[in-house]
Amino acid sequence: MAIIDYVADIDGIIDRWNKQPMLCPRIAKVTVNISVGAATERLSKAIKVLEEITGQKPVPRRARRTIKDFGIRKGENIAAIVTLRKEKAIEFLKKAFEAVGYRIKASSFDEFGNVAFGIKEHITIPGVKYDPEIGVFGMDVAITFERPGFRVLRRRRCRKKSIPRRHRVTREEAMIYLYKEFGVEIV
């Protein structure tokens, strides 16, 4: 199945973006997460892998609650996360899409156009070599889309309480953006 199966009027949407640049969506941030499940040396290796792949220092994340079956205690570091923006985000996405074969499921998109997908093994990313001391890690990649002007929701002065639905990025627009910019096939 192609993107045409999910979006009827691709050319109409792209024409509207060209006529009104404030409607054209953009990538606000890319979040990369590796969850290990315990504060062991494996977590430090995951942090090392994330730093090598993204070029930024990851932040460890703590468990929100205790889960006895998995041996997780509240407050214990169990994951590492990196947030990429602007050029670093685009460079990483090019590598990440290559690792998944430029294919994303349509069910990976939410109603506001955000998309999340997984990479089973970090060694499938181009330029990353297998190191037996580190091992193999899977990771989650989440892309957040927004339109120009969305900042009014987060700014400090004269903040708006909500953004109208028409100014939010739709699921179809995010699909078109990824298809147009990166050549990603929606399956």
Residue 164: CATH number of its domain: 3.30.1440.10
Q: What is the pLDDT of residues 80-104, one digit of tens each?
A: 999 999 999 999 999 999 999 999 9
Q: How many structural domains comprise the chain?
A: 1
Which domain does 70 fall in, by range? Answer: 3-186
3: pLDDT strictly greater than 70: no
Q: Which residue has the higher pLDDT, 8 or 153?
A: 153
Helical residues (DSSP H) of the chain, grouped into ranges:
10-19, 41-54, 86-99, 171-182
- CA-CA-CA-CA torsion for 2, 4, 6, 8, nearest 10 degrees? 180
